[in-house]
Chains A and B, each alone.
Chain A
Amino acid sequence: MIMNALLILIGKLFSMISRLLNVGSGSTWPGHIALSINKNFIKDIVKKNPHLKIILIAGTNGKTTTSKLIRTILQKNKIRVIHNESGANLINGIASVLIQNASISGKLNSDCAIFEIDENTLSLILKEIGNPDFLVILNLFRDQLDRYGEVNTIAQKWNESLKKISEKTTFILNADDPQVAYLYLASHLKGACVKYFGIDSENQTAEKTQHASDSTYCPNCGKKLIYNSIYFSHLGNWECKKCGYKHPSKTFTKSPFYPLTGTYNEYNTNAAVLLSKELNIPTQIINSALHEFKPAFGRQEILNINEKKVQIFLSKNPTGFNESLKTISDLKAKNLLIVLNDRIPDGKDISWIWDVDFDDFSFQFKNVVISGKRTYDMGLRLKYAEFKNFKIEENLEEAIALSLEKTSKSEILYILPTYSAMLETRKILTGKKIL
């Protein structure tokens, strides 16, 4: 279609100019323009490329890391992939990736598309692409309630749109998340098959239930679930004593290697490895890809700044924040910078910081600096968690400078930012924009 060729051309030009001007390399504008002129743009391109395998990754936490894990393994196996690696996971972002990679005729020179999808966009994208080859659902936690609504609302929306999926799709679901595992049952899914990942570990059971648990009641009958073990938040081996619904048996729980620390990354890795096995990728290839894996931007990414190491742990909701704190505390972190923003991608409501279990870490860190648009809210949170001697610096550049100054050369500065705060922090540290 001439129209689409023109849209692809305009989009490519647009991307080229924005790259030249360093105003963000993964701009979503080409997709935005294409979709506003031809709302079937994605549908058209997908139709043009029937050979293309499509893998969708959804969930509250871990989308970007899991997508990158899958990408790394597939590429190691010489599979040509396209991927929304900048994390632009709304419909515009997906269209933009297609534009970047398509020829003027709309043909894609790749075997596989890996798309991480925003919670609210999953239904929309399913309408466009029909039946993906794989649908990975990682978890469902409370996140940006002002933007996404409550966890149950999202689960319901997903249920509705998953019902329309055909036998072509393989589901890769987290068995340890009751709400996610239930998607299969509730939607009477027709998918070719469903494979469950999870973890199984005797020594990882959390001592107590975390406050930010969302789905500890049976998704089938509403009765409180019994947990034989809890790994974090509401993830664990669960069972309903009333209706008998329980966590499905897990196909895959132990990767040969975990490239990133933290229990949450065991889940991400297990999901990626399970999917790769479904694609018949040899274990050896998977293993060496995992060893070569480099974290995605802001997700445990390590930067070297003036001979000092900085590691960024994106922390954007209670469960993610709890896991980051636990992980850096296990790494014996001494220096911590927390950056809290309330821009649209962060969620405008910062109430969630009170669902983070800061109290367990009040004496853990030697130097704590806080910054961001809602610095003082974070300050109050730390004060009421009995943190002592933390420094408040509203100006992010100065906060980073101060934190680096306090960090000695043999130590690491750990930065826990919300989403927009992570982008701003990276820009200050590297001088480059990612989005």
Chain B
Amino acid sequence: MKQSLTIGWLYPELMSTYGDRGNIIALQKRCEWRETGVEVLHLDLHFNPNQLSQCDLLFMGGAQDKQQQIVTEDLLKKRDVLSQMIENGIPGLYICGAYQFLGKYYKEANGNILKGLDILDLHTENPGENSSRLIGNIAVKALNNKIIVGFENHGGRTYLGAQIKPLGKVIKGFGNNGEDSTEGVIYKNSFGTYLHGPILPKNPCLSDLLIKLALEKKYNSPIQLSPLDDSLETKAHNAISKRLKIKI
């Protein structure tokens, strides 16, 4: 039987400012190249929450502040379904603004507090106009000591609660807050991160992990993905590692 996945892309119109579409393309192509059926559901403003539960894998990117405010209102209405899916181990990748959303709150530069979805034990604070944004190439050690590379650009500093694990440890760059060397979050099969780049094309190990987790969850059995030729991915990954003076 041919396997297939349904990927839910949350707010592609509003939450896709930093090339995050590349993550969807990476997931989609890596399924197609393995002849795994793949469908991408575009879940835009006012989508029906029932559509969420059809998804085997979720993705949401970052956005401009104004667009983020529009999304907050809509997403708060769907909070319970999303929370249930995350608790049930439906894999998902949440980048930047989406990652911040999963937490308790976001404190804006002017001190104003924006309510989060309160699904994960984390919160984000923007230290104000006088603090600079955290911008630049970043490398993180994650997923059993693999190097994950990307580009970060965020004003907010995210702090994790005591009971929740970071995605990895920062080797070069700032990560969650530029203070504690943590980057991102990992909870059950959900991953939150500040890495753009976009993250997946240059880090195929993470793309494949998401696909594998989604298939295993859906078909309730262990899955071995067939290997793909990743030589170009490796070169792109190594080029940036080399630039950051990280031993490959």
State the A residues within 8 Å of B (CB).
142, 145-146, 150-153, 211, 213-214, 216-217, 222, 224, 348-355, 374-377, 379-381, 383-386
Contact in complex: B196, A349 (CB < 8 Å): yes
Q: How far is the CA of A214 from the CA of B17 in the complex (A)?
A: 8
What is the number of contacts between chain A and chain B, taking CB atoms within 8 Å? 88
Contact in complex: A376, B232 (CB < 8 Å): yes
Contact in complex: A145, B18 (CB < 8 Å): yes
Interface size on B, residues (CB 8 A): 34
Q: How far is the CA of A142 from the CA of B67 in the complex (A)?
A: 14
Given known contacts A349-B153, A384-B25, A145 and B232 CB-to-CB distance under 8 angstroms = no
Q: How far is the CA of A376 from the CA of B45 in the complex (A)?
A: 35
Contact in complex: A151, B25 (CB < 8 Å): no
Contact in complex: A376, B235 (CB < 8 Å): yes
Among B48-56, B162-170, B197-205, the stretch that binds chain A is B197-205
Contact in complex: B236, A349 (CB < 8 Å): no
A-B contact pairs, 6 of them (CB 8 A): A213-B13, A351-B20, A354-B19, A355-B19, A376-B235, A384-B201
Given known contacts A151-B64, A152-B66, A222-B70, A384 and B29 CB-to-CB distance under 8 angstroms = yes
Residues in B whose Cβ lies below 8 Å from that of A211: 12, 16, 21
Residues in B whose Cβ lies below 8 Å from that of A350: 151
Contact in complex: A380, B233 (CB < 8 Å): yes
Residues in A whose Cβ lies below 8 Å from that of B16: 211, 355
Contact in complex: A222, B151 (CB < 8 Å): no
Closest 6 CB pairs of A and B: A351-B19, A354-B22, A376-B236, A354-B19, A150-B64, A351-B196
Contact in complex: B236, A377 (CB < 8 Å): yes
B15 touches A (CB below 8 Å): no
- List CB contacts (< 8 Å) of B207-248 with chain A: 232-233, 235-236, 239
> Min CB distance, A216 to chain B, in Å?
7
Contact in complex: B22, A348 (CB < 8 Å): no
Other A-B pairs beyond A351-B196, A381-B201, 19, CB < 8 Å: A142-B17, A145-B18, A146-B153, A211-B12, A222-B66, A348-B151, A350-B151, A352-B19, A353-B19, A355-B19, A355-B21, A375-B239, A376-B232, A376-B236, A377-B236, A380-B202, A380-B232, A383-B232, A384-B22
